[in-house]
Amino acid sequence: MISTAQKHKKFELTPPQILVLGFAAIILLGTILLTLPFSSADGLPTPVLDALFTATSAACVTGLVVVDTGLHWSLFGKIVIIIMIQVGGLGFMTMSTLFAFVLKKRISLKERLILQEAMNQGSMEGIVRLIRKVLVYSLTIELAGAILFAIRWSFDLGVARGIGYGFFHAISFFNNAGFDLFGAVSGPFTGLTSYADDALVNVVSMALIVLGGLGFVVLSDLLEFKQKRRLSLHSKVVLSASGLLIVLGAIVIFAFEYSNTRTLGPLGWDGKVLASFFQSVSPRTAGANSVDMAGLRQASQLFIIILMFIGASPGSTGGGVKTTTFTVLVGAMIAMIRGKEDIVLFRSRLGKDRILKAITLTMLALFLVMIVTMLLSTTEDHSFLMILFEVTSAFGTVGLSMGLTPDLSTFGKVMIALTMFAGRLGPLTLAYALGPKAEKELYRYPEGKITIG
């Protein structure tokens, strides 16, 4: 006989399952709100699939859109989108913890486990303290960015509109969402192309994107560096990998696009450098663009696909397989070539479990991107590179687009929405949520050998 307690435990949701259902609930609520007539600028109900796609993109902080954000949505619709971006970027558990702090409610063990899963932490130790820091850092950085944007755009758009645009884009860029309102200023789906050589807009945007993409553990380490006088291994890896990818990306894009009349060609020297760095930073899951993605040379588009697949860092507002995963894989390759047994980073040896997790995550991500790309190649009448670009952008929760998303078929919209959902939660979290509960192995098989390579 199975006791009542055993039955209850059997059907108890795991932290990964709660995260999946929580994000699904946020998307459902956002879809309902965005279908309402007063959510659109023309006062007509938005088709359910378009509202679902937009809600998924906002909650998963992606930025891919089937309708122009600045033109299609009313003030109410834009407020719904930016709230979903904030909740989706910081995580619904982080936001619920904020309300618990306000109400002086105790954080239960179950909630701490979910927060640990949501923040991708190895243990529960200090998790509530980390969440407090996340909230303070996020709101402070977003406010600083909003003020700087508002000052700049007040000259072009007027004070009221400049302030509104400042807050919207500060929240969107810090959360690596990529939603922008400039379709209402410079034309549908134009992004920040009219500010490609504007130093203030570029620098503030890149700062918000990078700070949001580093991860809150790294931000905490940096702010406490004066007291501790040291950085954790995680922070060293993230900062090194992020810096290298940004500089390398800017150099590659500058070299490939220098003479391209559709992108960097018409810009002056300063504009070329700014735009190169912006296009290198943005694929790290931010999704904003200051040049036309469709106008890039194919070499640049393929390189940006690689950057989007790598993505941001763990515990951040960004997606992708993460910089640490990429670093572990590169480290494994170097160790194998050099005939070493261990992967050593900054004089620290990595455990085998970290290596296996990096390989598993990368393979799951590759399978997801390739399968969705193959499916869309049969339903969408566009080039393979264009489809791969869009799918990778969805998986990495980036939001950069070569113009395919508005033309997607019904099946295409559903597949891209599902890819955004899987990319935001992470393939491993989704696999844990959908798969059977792991049980401890009672025995091990004898070791066998196969030939590799």
Question: Is the separation of the CB atoms in 398 and 285 below 8 Å?
Answer: yes
Output DSSP code: residue 274. Answer: H
Whether 107 is covered by a domain: the verdict is yes
Confidence (pLDDT) at 52: 96
The torsion region of residue 61 among left (phi > 0), alpha (psi -120 to 50) and beta comes to left
Which DSSP string do the residues of 28-53 spell out, in sequence order? HHHHHHHHSGGGBTTSSPPPHHHHHH
Confidence (pLDDT) at 218: 86
> Of 14, 158, 4, 179, which Cα lies nearest the Cα of 88?
179
The owner of tokens 């890896």 is 237
Give the pLDDT confidence of 49-64 residue by residue, as tens digits: 999 999 999 999 898 9
Interstrand relation of 348-349 and 344-345 (parallel, antiparallel or unpaired)? antiparallel
Confidence (pLDDT) at 22: 81
Give the pLDDT confidence of 360-411 residue by residue, as tens digits: 999 999 999 999 999 999 999 999 999 999 999 999 999 999 989 999 999 9
Whether 447 is covered by a domain: the verdict is no
Whether 265 is covered by a domain: the verdict is yes
Q: How many domains does the chain have?
A: 1
Whether 201 is covered by a domain: the verdict is yes
pTM: 0.88
Confidence (pLDDT) at 288: 86
Q: Angle between the 384-395 and 410-425 helix axes, to the nearest 10 degrees?
A: 40
Neighbour count for residue 122 (Cβ, 10 Å):
8
CA-CA distance, 386 to 36, in Å (whole number)? 32
Whether 3 is covered by a domain: the verdict is no
Give every residue of the chain whose pLDDT is below 50, as ranges: 1-2, 5-10
Confidence (pLDDT) at 401: 92
Whether 446 is covered by a domain: the verdict is no
Confidence (pLDDT) at 317: 75
Question: Residue 453 contacts by C-beta under 8 Å, 6 or more apart in sequence?
Answer: none
Domain range for 60 is 13-432
Neighbour count for residue 204 (Cβ, 10 Å):
22
Whether 277 is covered by a domain: the verdict is yes
Whether 41 is covered by a domain: the verdict is yes
